[in-house]
Structure 1
């Protein structure tokens, strides 16, 4: 795992320098540290946590405290040839920040890299909170769902086009056979027409030789042939128009059915949904602000408790009246920022209440986010339906207009057919009058030639249409390979998107279980058989829907002295075991979300619950996964760390 992480990190400077002013308990300081492990060594109340907070400020975190007697502070990080500056300013009840931090979005780092005592990942394990929600919080599931819908639409369109091509492909054999059949019929008609024309020519020669005065009859016969041909063409055009109208009317019915199935959404509904979205967004922003403020308050009180412990520990080692005075007042804590004295129990109770309030706000924000996703999805569906409704309505109007145009065309052709029919009747009557008994067969011969010419013309036109259709299908089939390749790419992308969330969850569980087992053995927790996360699925309600959602259940197994295994709970873990479990969970998130690619720092604090030997092993394990590991330790714990590393004792 370490080699994989290191291979992904490029161009990391070998040294970093941090300058801090008015952050935590620090007035002003500047510290440099090298890549690898840096130990902040010292007793409690030596501003080690404040230094870590200063690093967090420069990196982009808002989970820091400004010195109580200062209205502004700053942190500057020199990292390689770049400088990152951040300024803090007290404004009413909040701390405003500006500048150019190392991170644009510190969410990943706050959760999985800045592992101070109040770190949410550590606390979530200790409190038995929803681990799955925390590990998946940085994942924009709504964006993934939107992307899935877009790719699903692309796949549907590609499937429809490929299905259409397959249908066309299946038509080719029938079209080829029909073209061959019509070609044979054309050859037969050509032979019959050639014979009929020869017979008519022979009859015409006889007429010219014997009756030159019959030229008027020939003129009428030619006029009759042309008129009949025109009449046949008009009839064929009428039939074609009727077939087209029939197809268009079927399409019109389908479009009407589709139009009735679409809902455009009432403008009132759309306005209501948009208003709800705006209101909920404001509520979410307010909740996020409250959560941030609660976190800052929690950190301040926790730091106050930590610093007070150190003062008591250091001073109580002395003899005399001062010691007696401190011991007598051991349940009181004096705030180093404002000078007021408060009972420890009161502060601890307040911290617990604040943590509970923050957890409630987090859950409320999660519910609001789900509701917001539902409203956005509803609005998106209405927009899509309205667009399709508008397009379908335009298609219906276009189809209806085309039907009307073709009906008008049929009326014109019908009038023309009637006129041509009357003209043919008149010409036939005139020919009958001009015919003598000797030439009575000529009219029949002319009719036969006319009919054969019309049949031949129609068959040739039908053959050309089939030929064009075959060429068009073959041209479209040339797209099939490209469309299939595109569909395969879209299908692969869909598979990746649909499994991305599951894969992140699975990787997180695998990473935690692997590192937890490694550290359990390395740190020698022999009374623990195993600690692992069991990933299960359950039905939950999100807004108005029921969905399947993964759940991360922390499992603990111990053994009795007799060797019998039994399942235990997080409440029964020792403080040391809980701390290690929380740190491993944070490390799993650090690796799964590739946090090291955006911030090559990890900060560790408040490890006092773990003994020195195990802290040394823990640091040794973590350093293989992090380029810059900065650890705040007591002097006796720092002395247990072996190997080449920097030690900063004067802050």
Structure 2
């Protein structure tokens, strides 16, 4: 169900054994809902239950329960999640609202431990966090597919351009042949007129005339065949020479290509596969580290009395001893209760472990960047090798075709030479027969017949030649009709490639624009003293990755303050107050929510732990954020909730 489908619908939530909740049912209306109450009143537990219903795994079970359940009903649809404890870990089943909660966990579920919200205070890599939901591997695969199609289109267009270059020459040849045909026809008509006049004056034996005419017809046919044979022989020899020249050119082009062993490509493919497997493993490690770090940070913030009692009871202490130790731990801020064994542990040791985990996470991020760079290098090498191999295969196929054509033409030339010799002998015999039949009185008319016959031979040859040229022109024009559609597709591919190659950059620009715009508006609303501006700038740095130096973009956060005299100066993030850092982190998370259009799939936003911000500013901030989500559920202290608009829904008991 999309966000638009649930507009104006109520949402009902039933919860059992989640966090500190035994059981409760709460109904939410679209808009702002304030969970008003003191600390340890299960407000955060209810927010975790909402997260679980939407699909998040950031949920904890009640200390004395092995299984819990969350049912969320929107309209006529109910979504159920059933977390249960197995071998010391919590496994969650059921049918959540979302199949993938990465966007929601980062930019919609803004509890205190939310990574996007804490990014500013922890000086995390802001760009990496904004770009994390973007599937860069899928974008790269699509780019490679389009690049291959682009190369194929360019190759086809080159072939068509070569054909188009031949077209003017062929059209000029057709024009010349047409003029020659018209001229020959005129000459033949004139000759036939002369022959008709000469025939009228000749009084000869009909039998002799028929025999002479039949012999002349045979001579005409033989000469026509000889002429056609000679013409075809010349054409075949020209084609043979052209094929030999083309073969030399193709062979030269082939010799210039570097060798591309198939094994090299296979090795690169294997290495790319290995690196991608390693990258997926590292991504899994990063996610696991993030979960562990977030959990530990939450526990360091403080453990509730119920959990402490449960932990102490689990290790066999009496009720009175548990209460005494619990009181002692509550009073001693330097110690915490271990959430695995229930023993008392110095807080500094846990913080030290947390520091090492955060350092490991940073090192893992660096390794992931190096792997991506190595994969890009290998993919580039692979594309180059494949281009060479494709060109070599194409040239090999063309050479094979030329060799076959050469063999066919050489065989045909031998046949034509033999045919020509036979026709020359036949013509010689027929000419002797004509000489025997012709008499002095027939010499003029016989000459006219020979001339007419010769004109007919020449006319037939020219017409045949033009038909051949017409056929070639028609074939080329048919193929050239594909050129426009190929060019259109090439432009489409070029546009798609440009869009894919700039998609990441566009997301970065949109994220910065959203943050800077909303940060400016929020600072105007909240009116922090001498805080003029907080903004993000995208910068590029040259860094070494693998075998090359590349440009790496980062998001640099700037803080501008002013003195009492009104002079502006740049400050550092470390000097922001806790309230200012909280607001900046929330606005950064809101920028991610907007740039990734999270509202299209996640209609709710959750907030808690806003105590560092004063009541009036909390009210202004909530009113501003409420414009961007169908449901905004926020956990507040009673005094902070009292500053909100009275029309907002309030939940005071859970």
| Structure 1 and Structure 2 fold alike (TM over 0.5) | yes
Cα distance in structure 2, aligned partners of 1:162 and 1:388: 15
Q: Cα distance, 1:646 vs. partner?
A: 2.2
Q: Cα distance, 1:584 vs. partner?
A: 0.7
- From 516, 519, 523, give the equivalent of 2:519: 516
1:318 aligned partner: none
User: Contact 2:227–2:461 at 8 Å: present in 1 too?
Assistant: no
Cα distance in structure 1, aligned partners of 2:603 and 2:644: 21
User: Contact 1:530–1:557 at 8 Å: present in 2 too?
Assistant: yes
1:593 maps onto 2:596 in alignment: yes
2:128 aligned partner: 133
* SS of match in other structure, 1:624: helix
User: Contact 2:519–2:584 at 8 Å: present in 1 too?
Assistant: yes
1:576 aligned partner: 579
1:86 aligned partner: 81
CA-to-partner distance for each residue in 1:403-433, whole Å, 9 max, x for gaps? 2112211111111112212322333344445
Q: Cα distance, 1:540 vs. partner?
A: 4.0
1:361 maps onto 2:364 in alignment: yes
2:649 aligned partner: 646
Cα distance in structure 2, aligned partners of 1:588 and 1:384: 42
1:507 maps onto 2:517 in alignment: no
Cα distance in structure 2, aligned partners of 1:271 and 1:484: 33
Q: Cα distance, 1:583 vs. partner?
A: 1.0
User: Contact 1:142–1:373 at 8 Å: present in 2 too?
Assistant: no
Q: Cα distance, 1:209 vs. partner?
A: 1.5
User: Contact 1:94–1:293 at 8 Å: present in 2 too?
Assistant: no
1:553 aligned partner: 556
User: Contact 2:15–2:70 at 8 Å: present in 1 too?
Assistant: yes
CA-to-partner distance for each residue in 1:452-493, whole Å, 9 max, x for gaps? 112211222233344445555665666666555545544443
* SS of match in other structure, 2:353: helix
- From 535, 540, 551, give the equivalent of 1:537: 540
- From 27, 45, 49, give the equivalent of 1:54: 49
1:631 maps onto 2:634 in alignment: yes
* SS of match in other structure, 1:284: helix
Evaluate the alpha carbon distance shift between residue 180 and residue 264 of structure 1 in structure 2; reply closer, same or farther with a 3 A threshold.
closer
Q: Cα distance, 1:531 vs. partner?
A: 0.9
Cα distance in structure 2, aligned partners of 1:497 and 1:139: 12
* SS of match in other structure, 2:342: coil
User: Contact 1:604–1:631 at 8 Å: present in 2 too?
Assistant: yes
User: Contact 1:9–1:596 at 8 Å: present in 2 too?
Assistant: no
Q: Cα distance, 1:56 vs. partner?
A: 1.7
Q: Cα distance, 1:199 vs. partner?
A: 4.0
Evaluate the alpha carbon distance shift between residue 10 and residue 539 of structure 1 in structure 2; reply closer, same or farther with a 3 A threshold.
farther
Q: Once structures 1 and 2 are overlaid, which stretch shifts more, 465-474 or 575-584?
A: 465-474
**Number of residues of Structure 1 aligned to a counterpart in Structure 2:** 637
Cα distance in structure 2, aligned partners of 1:23 and 1:324: 25
User: Contact 2:120–2:584 at 8 Å: present in 1 too?
Assistant: yes
CA-to-partner distance for each residue in 1:579-623, whole Å, 9 max, x for gaps? 211111110010011001011111112222222222222111111
Evaluate the alpha carbon distance shift between residue 293 and residue 92 of structure 1 in structure 2; reply closer, same or farther with a 3 A threshold.
farther
* SS of match in other structure, 2:645: coil
2:411 aligned partner: 408
Taking the TM superposition and a 5 Å limit, the aligned residue runs for 1:186-225 are: 186-200=181-195, 209=204, 213=208, 217-225=212-220
TM-score calculated relative to the size of structure 2: 0.85
2:315 aligned partner: none
1:301 maps onto 2:304 in alignment: no
Structure 1 residues without counterparts, runs of 5 or longer: 1-6, 312-320
1:464 maps onto 2:467 in alignment: yes
* SS of match in other structure, 2:204: helix
User: Contact 1:531–1:554 at 8 Å: present in 2 too?
Assistant: yes
Q: Cα distance, 1:647 vs. partner?
A: 2.3
Cα distance in structure 2, aligned partners of 1:60 and 1:102: 6
Q: Once structures 1 and 2 are overlaid, which stretch shifts more, 233-242 or 354-363?
A: 354-363
Q: Once structures 1 and 2 are overlaid, which stretch shifts more, 298-307 or 622-631?
A: 298-307
Taking the TM superposition and a 5 Å limit, the aligned residue runs for 1:154-169 are: 154=149
Evaluate the alpha carbon distance shift between residue 178 and residue 402 of structure 1 in structure 2; reply closer, same or farther with a 3 A threshold.
closer
User: Contact 2:69–2:81 at 8 Å: present in 1 too?
Assistant: yes
* SS of match in other structure, 1:103: coil
Evaluate the alpha carbon distance shift between residue 417 and residue 174 of structure 1 in structure 2; reply closer, same or farther with a 3 A threshold.
closer
Q: Once structures 1 and 2 are overlaid, which stretch shifts more, 348-357 or 200-209?
A: 200-209
1:493 aligned partner: 496
User: Contact 1:13–1:79 at 8 Å: present in 2 too?
Assistant: no
User: Contact 1:68–1:338 at 8 Å: present in 2 too?
Assistant: no
Evaluate the alpha carbon distance shift between residue 69 and residue 358 of structure 1 in structure 2; reply closer, same or farther with a 3 A threshold.
farther
1:14 aligned partner: 9
Q: Cα distance, 1:512 vs. partner?
A: 0.3
2:309 aligned partner: none
Q: Once structures 1 and 2 are overlaid, which stretch shifts more, 616-625 or 479-488?
A: 479-488
* SS of match in other structure, 1:529: strand
- From 413, 422, 425, give the equivalent of 1:422: 425
Cα distance in structure 1, aligned partners of 2:293 and 2:16: 22
Cα distance in structure 1, aligned partners of 2:20 and 2:269: 46
Structure 2 residues without counterparts, runs of 5 or longer: 307-323
* SS of match in other structure, 1:51: helix
User: Contact 2:44–2:608 at 8 Å: present in 1 too?
Assistant: yes
CA-to-partner distance for each residue in 1:519-552, whole Å, 9 max, x for gaps? 1111111221211111233444554454444321
- From 604, 611, 618, give the equivalent of 2:621: 618
1:339 aligned partner: 342
2:374 aligned partner: 371
Cα distance in structure 2, aligned partners of 1:247 and 1:177: 20
Cα distance in structure 2, aligned partners of 1:381 and 1:48: 58
Cα distance in structure 2, aligned partners of 1:237 and 1:132: 72
Q: Cα distance, 1:69 vs. partner?
A: 5.1
Cα distance in structure 2, aligned partners of 1:310 and 1:69: 13
Q: Once structures 1 and 2 are overlaid, which stretch shifts more, 329-338 or 497-506?
A: 329-338
User: Contact 2:31–2:626 at 8 Å: present in 1 too?
Assistant: yes
Cα distance in structure 1, aligned partners of 2:277 and 2:157: 46
Cα distance in structure 2, aligned partners of 1:22 and 1:514: 42
1:108 aligned partner: 103
